[in-house]
Amino acid sequence: MILTLLQFAALAGVAVFLGQWRASVRRRNAATWDSLVARLRVDWSARDLTDHFLWKEGMDATPEETWTRIRGAHGLWAMYQNARVLLEMADFAARSGACSDLDLIATLRSDALQIRVCVLSALVQYGLSHASEGVRINAYRAACLYTGMAARMTRLLQENAAVVLPDFVAAM
């Protein structure tokens, strides 16, 4: 009896996973540039991190200033969520053939994953030690990656989807 229940529970879990996966694939395939840009978090911006945000890589802030400028964990979480959207934008460009620069697409994918790892690491450290030096260093690293990724995404959009560039700049 218990074995039957366990088998049913495992089968139900697999069915739920496959259903969610199928829905995410459908949602991904139905995405447009406009819908992806609209999903960027507009309640937070990394503009304060550098004077040349979106146009050139690099930052003008120290780790301590970065922590203050990103508004702590709030900014980290916004970077985490926006990194996922930027990853989906890179995937969209690759799928649609809008971009022939496969190295740029690979770099954007790598950046998004690194940002998400750095942010999760910083958030775990923040939960354990509240804005220690390690948290600020991880936040700085994530912010550096984020500003670089945003600049590369701006370049991708300039070259391949200039129509949505103003919306992207406004959302970032």
* pTM, rounded to two decimals: 0.77
Tell me what the pLDDT averaged over the chain comes to.
83
Co-location of 38 and 77 in the same domain: yes
Task: Give the pair of three-digit tokens for residue 163.
Answer: 């129509």
pLDDT at 119: 92
The answer to whether residues 86 and 112 touch, using CB atoms and an 8 Å cutoff, is yes
Co-location of 90 and 160 in the same domain: yes
Task: Report the pLDDT averaged over residues 19-44.
Answer: 81
pLDDT at 58: 67
Co-location of 104 and 151 in the same domain: yes
Co-location of 14 and 39 in the same domain: no
pLDDT confidence band for 112 (50 / 70 / 90)? very high
* pLDDT at residue 91 is higher than 80: yes
Task: Report the pLDDT averaged over residues 123-140.
Answer: 83
Tell me the C-alpha distance between 35 and 28, whole Å: 10
Tell me the C-alpha distance between 172 and 168, whole Å: 6
